């Protein structure tokens, strides 16, 4: 009896402080939408995540522990968040890259026709179901322990 009273008080405390129901209220009142995005890593492993409107793919990857580096933190000073949009249909729904994004894509390793910087791809309703592939390598060198040969 005492225990349940405490748990009732506890539940009421949580409810009134907005911790438990706050989020649910927010979701229902704002109808904050999310799109479904699938990340495919270099080994073909897939991870399906939910991305809220307005969030960049780089941010979304970090929030879901997906290994997408973002060395310059989205300031268009590197190309480490290079992603490949797997379907042309979705690639065409994206805004054209700005000159600054193109400047950095120039240096991306393994660039394709549907490559973009993850920090510049922002979630919007039309991108629901988009699949993004992580490039096979971000660096242009072999890690096989090459030893110099005498000449």
Partner 1 sequence: MYDAVVLAYGAESDRYLGVPGEDLGGIYSAREFVWWYNGHPDCSNVSPDLKNTDTAVVLGQGNVALDVARILLRPINELETTDIAEHALTSLRESTIRKVYLVGRRGPVQAACTAKELREILGIKDLHVCIQKADLLTSAADEEELKKGRIQRRVYELFSKAATSHQQHDIVGQRELHFMFFRKPDRFLPSESGNTVSGVRLEKTCLKENGASGKQVAVGTGQFEDLKCGLVLKSVGYKSVPVDGLPFDEYRGVVPNMKGRVLSLDQAEHAIVEKGLYVTGWLKRGPTGIIATNLYCAEETVASILEDFKNGLLTPSSGSPKPGRQGLLQVLENKNARFVPFSGWEKIDTKERMEGELRNKPRKKITTWEELLLAVDG
Q: Summarize as ranges the residues that interact with partner 1 (CB under 8 A).
A: 71, 77-79, 99-100, 102-107, 109, 111, 139-141, 143, 145-146, 148-151
Among candidate residues 57, 39, 59, the one with its CA nearest the CA of residue 131: 39
**Min CB(119)–partner 1 separation in Å:** 14
**What residues have CB less than 8 Å from 46, skipping those under 6 apart?**
38, 39, 40
Residue 4 or 140 having the CB closest to partner 1: 140
Rounded to 10 degrees, what is the CA torsion of 117, 68, 65, 63?
-30
Residue 68 or 123 having the CB closest to partner 1: 68
Residue 3 or 141 having the CB closest to partner 1: 141
**Min CB(139)–partner 1 separation in Å:** 5
How many residues does the structure list for the chain?
151
**Min CB(127)–partner 1 separation in Å:** 25
Alpha-carbon 89 to chain mean position = 19
């Amino acid at each position: 009896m005492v225990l349940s009273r405490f748990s009732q008080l506890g539940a009421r405390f949580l409810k009134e402080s907005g911790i438990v129901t706050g989020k649910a209220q927010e979701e229902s009142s704002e109808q904050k939408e999310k799109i479904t995005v699938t990340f495919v890593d270099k080994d073909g492993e897939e991870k399906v995540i939910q991305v809220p409107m307005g969030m960049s793919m780089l941010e979304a990857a970090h929030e879901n522990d997906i290994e997408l580096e973002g060395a310059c933190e989205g300031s268009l000073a590197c190309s480490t968040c290079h992603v490949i949009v797997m379907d042309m249909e979705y690639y065409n729904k994206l805004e054209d890259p700005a000159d600054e994004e193109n400047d950095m894509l120039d240096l991306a390793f393994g660039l394709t026709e549907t490559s973009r910087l993850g920090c510049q791809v922002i979630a919007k309703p039309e991108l629901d179901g988009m699949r993004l592939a992580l490039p096979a390598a971000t660096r242009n060198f072999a890690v096989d322990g090459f030893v110099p040969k005498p000449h």
